[in-house]
Chain A
Amino acid sequence: MTGNLRLGFHAPATVREISDLVAEAAHAKIPLEVRGRGSKYEVGRYVQSGSVVSTEHLVGISLYEPSELVLSAAAGTPLDDIRGILAEHGQQLAFEPIDLGPALGAPAGQSSIGGVFATNLSGGRRIQAGAARDHLLGVTCVNGWGEPFKSGGRVMKNVTGYDLCKAVAGSWGTLAVMTEVTMKVLPAAAETRTLLCFGLPDQTAVDVMCFCLGTPFEISGTVHLQAPLAARLSDPDIAKGGAAVTAIRVENFPSSARYRVSRLKERLAAYSPAVELDTTRSCTFWEEIRTLRMFAGSNRPLWRISTIPSRAAKLVAIIARTLDIRVSYDWSGGLIWLETPLTSDAGTVEIRRAIAEFGGHATLIRAERATRASVDVFQPLDPPLATLTTRLKSAFDPAGILNAGRMYPGV
């Protein structure tokens, strides 16, 4: 351990080896890029590390108890393996993890389960079922000293000690290397129905979606795609319509799903819900939303904005005054995916200014490396929160070697 860490790519098959590698890097103060299967390599601030530690060889599902709604897997296990085994048992990851692959010019289905939790990327069902972090029951990790530690467990309720699962979820590998994750899984609904309204202006669409979430029908998806984006989906009724589409999803037992959709239709009559997708078409539609099909095949910068749902359309309108943008709204407006023109700052100035006025935060998901090296990819934090962030980083990784600078400079 004399600071001559082998540079290059390391994909150990054991926690012990990861632990040794991190300890060695910490001792030598050599930055270490932390990676799952690398599907989100091109997201975040661009940083160069001589050494990479990947969990892609830490694979396998060690526990799956369908009647207890729990599954444990090594961090490098492909997400699709987990989705597959859950589907065989009529279950799912209810937070519907977003797959950034297609938007980044790669195939879908390349994520590791560790990467899903490390980035806390939740999909359309987040409004009803919670985020990725809400489903993470337990983790084992290696911290920046190279020490393995665990937090949480395999049971549904657990307040024993601090919830360090929350700290590592969404930390983009900057606090620890996750080696195993235990998650809550849930039954998949037997029936999915989706109501579509066409041609609604953004503000009206947001109003409709917020209205739907205020009904007792447990709406599990609300998205609105502006016309140019809607045209990129495969459903013939949507693609050929040439209009913006607003989609409302209901999932339940068949009789309940039908009942709830019929009640919704009555309440939305003024907005002419013209099409009702059955389970098969619904699943295709929502899978395309989950894999961001509407943003595939483009190299324009792509932003992910989290904001107050009812203000989303106004926020977008302000940005649209100066930038040529294409927008889809998820979470009834609470989540905005926004494509900007290819400029050197990817529209950062306009977007951050609008966020400052309307509230929320923005992350630059897709952009050239040069752009990502020159702008704040993640939302800059207020000073008190920035101080806590630096201190938390030090509490896990005092040498500052794990994915150093991936989220914020010096973190």
Chain B
Amino acid sequence: MSLLTLPKPDEAILGRRDEIIRQLRQLVPNASLIVDQEGRRTFETDALTAYRCMPLAVVLPESTEEVSTILRYCHDNKIKVVPRGAGTSLSGGALPLEDSIVLGISRMTRVLSIDETNRVARVEAGVTNIAITNAAAVHGYFYAPDPSSQLACTLAGNIAMNAGGAHCLKYGVTTNNLLALRIVLMNGGIVDIGGDYLDAPGYDFLGLITGSEGQFGVVTEATVRLLKAPEGARPMLLGFDSCEAAGACVAGIIAAGIVPVAIEFMDKPAIQVCENFAGAGYPLDVEAMLIVEVEGSDDEIDSLLDTIAEVAERYGPRVVRPSKSAEESASIWKGRKAAFGAIGQLSDYYCMDGVIPLAKLPEALAEVAEICRRHRFRVVNIFHAGDGNLHPLILYNANDRAELERAELCGAEILKLCVKLGGCLTGEHGVGIEKRELMRVQFTAADIAQQMRVKTVFDPDWLLNPAKVFPLEGRERQ
């Protein structure tokens, strides 16, 4: 695999840039439009920073009607549009195209209503993930999906990528927590789907739109489910002499009928980095560590942690440390939460997102280590173990283009391995531009063709976020 390419820009559109900007000025307030070089630079990439591309212009509308006006204009003029939330995509989902307009939703941030009785929140889709929970917390509720970028990422982006997080083992991902949305289609049409109730009529467009990577429309408002916060939550730290034992313990806990709210896995390199950075009190003499969190009243938590400790005993743990207090809990989570920042201080990293069946965990970790060794990279593993969602972090030097290319090759091998083991290319980051060319590893031509037909239901001209998700080759034939 070579470095990913973007489709050749439409010269006619590039040539019309001045005219397009003039026309956009007539459609939206000047304050919503960014056309200067410096202003646009902010939007030339997302969290997959290896790729950059300057768009024609950036529009930051403030209402559904403005979104509709812009999309209709672009539709009528055959101008491509790349929707953007907060730009935290790790798969290049918000990477612009040279002949595209970036439509950012980040100014639509209002929480419109919180309905305690029916346990729902209505929000504008540019609201950050954490802001929903913050608004609901005063009533004792929370919004369950919690991707690690939750301080910054928008609900619109969460919907586009069907975001998950550490707690989705118990509470599900975005698609399981969404009741309604307002979406603007590429032709400017506004469609309302669902309501303040648990299932929408007719075909499941809510489910279909969630995870469609901004290729079906721009979501401007949404209604999400709120959950009552549990009485309490506490984690337990388990250390093992081998990754195999830690992996087997995860399966053992689940087989015992317990679905913890989170099971996080860290390998030895990860433990060391996090401990050096955060001083969380992690054991440095173990090969793998689990953080298992359960919820309930104090007594319930004690009882569940006892049961988990009993299960863990079967796998020969070196360390069994249940948290007894809020301070201990905070210290156990401190290292984990600092992980990505800590590793980022050490080195640039390329974060993978493959998923494997849980039983294959030891095999997968051994092979990931072997692949990275072969490609001469260090790898750190920190991931959501309960659902088999691996996040190997390949450490590399981003300033060395050749090294980036090798890291991508290494990552592609890891993802192919996940598919070979019965898993998939991406668990929560999305395909974006990053895994576009790997889709054929997981899907047949017929599988992909069926998906592409669904794309044309919403956007027949392929104007919305067009260079993502599907292999570029053969696109013309669709």
Contact = CB atoms under 8 A, between A and B. Distances in A.
Interface of A: 65-70, 90, 120, 122, 126-127, 130-131, 133-134, 143, 147-151, 153-167, 169-171, 175, 186-188, 190, 210, 213-216, 253, 255-256, 259, 306-310, 331, 334-335, 359-361, 363, 378-379, 381-382, 384-385, 388-389, 391-392, 394-396, 407-408
Nearest to A187: B257
Given A162-B454, A392-B203, A186 B259 contact: yes
B450 A143 contact: yes
Contacts, number: 247
A45 to B, nearest CB: 13
Interface residues on B, range: 35 or more
A163 B210 contact: yes
B75 to A, nearest CB: 15
A392 B356 CA distance: 31
A149 B257 CA distance: 34
B119 interface: yes
A379 B119 contact: no
26 contacts: A69-B254, A130-B172, A147-B450, A148-B446, A155-B422, A155-B424, A156-B355, A159-B429, A161-B451, A163-B175, A166-B204, A166-B208, A166-B210, A167-B203, A171-B203, A175-B203, A256-B300, A308-B118, A310-B115, A378-B202, A381-B201, A385-B202, A388-B203, A392-B203, A395-B454, A396-B450
Interface of B: 115-119, 140, 161-162, 164, 168-169, 172-173, 175-176, 189-193, 195-208, 210-212, 228-231, 251-252, 254-255, 257-259, 296-297, 299-300, 303-304, 307, 355-359, 384, 386-389, 422-431, 435, 439, 442-444, 446-451, 453-458, 469
A188 B450 CA distance: 36
Contacts of A308: 118, 195-197
Contacts of A216: 228-231
Contacts of B251: 67-68
Contacts of B450: 143, 147, 149, 151, 164, 395-396
A159 B140 CA distance: 30
Contacts of A127: 198
B5 to A, nearest CB: 20
A171 B453 CA distance: 17
Contacts of B303: 253, 255-256
Contacts of A163: 162, 175, 207-208, 210-212
Contacts of B161: 159
Given A160-B431, A308-B118, A66 B255 contact: yes
A160 B204 contact: no
B198 A68 contact: no
B447 A67 contact: no
Contacts of B444: 149-150
Residue of B198, B228, B451 with highest tally of chain A CB at under 10 A: B198
Contacts of B297: 259
Given A133-B207, A306-B199, A385-B202, A159 B454 contact: no
Given A162-B212, A388-B191, 20 more contacts: A65-B359, A67-B252, A68-B251, A130-B172, A156-B355, A156-B387, A158-B427, A159-B427, A159-B430, A160-B435, A164-B208, A167-B203, A171-B203, A213-B119, A216-B230, A253-B307, A255-B299, A259-B300, A379-B201, A381-B201
A68 B197 contact: no
Nearest to B216: A162
B290 to A, nearest CB: 15
Contacts of B176: 130, 134
A167 B208 contact: yes
Contacts of B443: 150, 160-161
B460 to A, nearest CB: 9
Given A134-B175, A307-B197, A187 B258 contact: yes
A324 B192 CA distance: 33
B260 to A, nearest CB: 12
A143 B439 CA distance: 20
Contacts of A122: 199
Residue of A131, A156, A216, A259 with highest tally of chain B CB at under 10 A: A156
B424 A153 contact: yes
Nearest to A153: B424
A395 B457 contact: yes
A188 to B, nearest CB: 8
Residue of B197, B206, B252, B259 with highest tally of chain A CB at under 10 A: B197
B193 A359 contact: no
A347 B117 CA distance: 29
